[in-house]
Amino acid sequence: MGKQRGLCRRRQNQGKIAHKRIKHQEIMVKRDDDGISALPDCLLLEILSRLPSTKDAIRTGTLSKRWEHLWTWVPTLIFSTKTGPPTQRLQNSKPRDEFPLLVDKTLTQCRQIKLKKFILHTYYDTRFESQFNNWIRYAISCNVEELNLEFWGSETEFLLNEFIFINSCFTDLRLAGCKVNSSGAISWENVRSLCISGVNVDEDLIVNIVSGSPLLGTLVFEYCRWLNITSESEASDIIRKCVPTSLSLTQCRQLKLLKKFKLYAHYDIQFQSQLNNLILYAIRCNVEDLNLRLWNHAYDDEFVLDQIVFTSSCFTELRVGGCMLNPVGAISWKSLQSLCISEHISLDEDLIENILCGSPVLETLELDDCYGFRRLNITSKSVKNLVLCGYEVPYGGFEADMIEINAPNISSLTMEGWNFLCKPLLLNVSSFVKAHLDFSFTKLEHRQKKPNEVEEELLKGCIMNLRHVKELQLGVVCSKVLSGLEAKGFVSPSNVKLAGGLR
């Protein structure tokens, strides 16, 4: 009897243990079968594609068996050594030496046949040039659509291989810090968007690009070095291998799909003709979004825009920085909806009136560090948004003491910047619905009072003029000034909202 009772107890205990094991397994299955893991592979791959880097995608392999090898099918590969401050990136060579090994190992494990995106951002070390080319070849063998290459930190540029210039798989191409030296005609038949950054550029190269990229919709040149080859010695210094074309940019065929053109460059007088030819070519293609930022260390040597710029009706969005606005006659921007003028451009009341009269459908006007005007008289019924970012005067320039703003039809006002040298005086602003203030008053002549007192007086006047506005938002700078006002007993209207939603 005792033996039978002991046997029964053992069976009961085994049953309890087995039941506990089953429950533990159920719990583990539930952990694996969370909401995300239950999604189909196509959605999980899309999620992994949106992570900042391939390294992050690989880390998800530790989540569960389901995720272990999922990253190997991701159609996006992102390799970057952009970690930490730039000085750290350049000085610490250990990560640079390990990076190629990591990329090589990753590519040997990848299983995807088709790549949507391949991004490589790294310090250029000549020791790994062959590996860089092998990685790019791998991406092209997978018919990559978006190729994004950026190299930095070395006096020697990464020389792009010829196979990059004759490829029909690219739709989006970004080349930064590379040497663009095609020995023949470029053929990018399907490229829709092209960004060239930090590269030596001349008109021959541009002609080669636009001639071989018939579907371009977006063309961007950022921080490029504009070259003017006038001698054999200069040509050898540049190491240009591109076969000179018989065409000039003015003779190139029109890019019918080009909608966006961006040009950021350091301006030098010797390149004025080249830069204007490029801008005029974009206009001939009926570009809708034109973004120009041309800077020079000497304020008296501004880039002079061609007169055709002021009478082009193709623009819907226009950003002009560092250029001289000198229209001869009436401006005609019949389709322009958004205009931004920046980089210490001198504007007077007559020029502003010319702009507004010639832009009948303009909705947004932004003036960023412009100067030279005492009054903004914006009576156009189409303009609804006004953005003022500072009023910075270069040495010797005209400086106004106060800016009067008369804007009876404006519904949204933004005033921000650390260098508002003038007091804004709001006149007719009866249509304002929304306003955002985040500026600092810095005019030295008004520092007889304490800085806080000057800013408090200025902000108080703005708030009282805008007390009818439905939403008045104060940024970080103005929020601090308001705190000082309220400590002195000032009661702000109920429409005032502080930065970050604090109140």
Rounded to 10 deg, the angle between the 451-465 and 476-487 helix axes is: 100
**Tokens 């974009």, located at residue:** 282
Lowest mean pLDDT, pick from 70-74, 219-223, 245-249: 245-249
Among 486, 488, 467, 489, residue whose Cα is nearest residue 478: 486
pLDDT score for 500: 59
pLDDT in tens, 103-146: 999 999 999 889 999 999 999 998 999 999 999 999 999 999 99
Q: How far apart are the first and last CA of the chain?
A: 80
Rounded CA separation 437/229 (Å):
49
**Total-model pTM:** 0.83
pLDDT, the chain, mean? 82
Provide the total of helices (H) and of strands (E) in the chain, helices listed first.
12, 25
- Note whether 372 and 347 are within 8 A (CB): yes
The residue type at 95 = P
pLDDT score for 274: 86
pLDDT higher for 286 or 204?
A: 286
pLDDT score for 332: 97
Q: Is the dihedral of CA 404, 410, 413, 419 positive or negative?
A: negative
**Tokens 């003028």, located at residue:** 341
183-205: average pLDDT: 92
pLDDT in tens, 330-381: 999 999 999 999 988 889 999 999 999 999 999 999 999 888 888 999 999 9
Rounded to 10 deg, the angle between the 129-141 and 93-109 helix axes is: 30
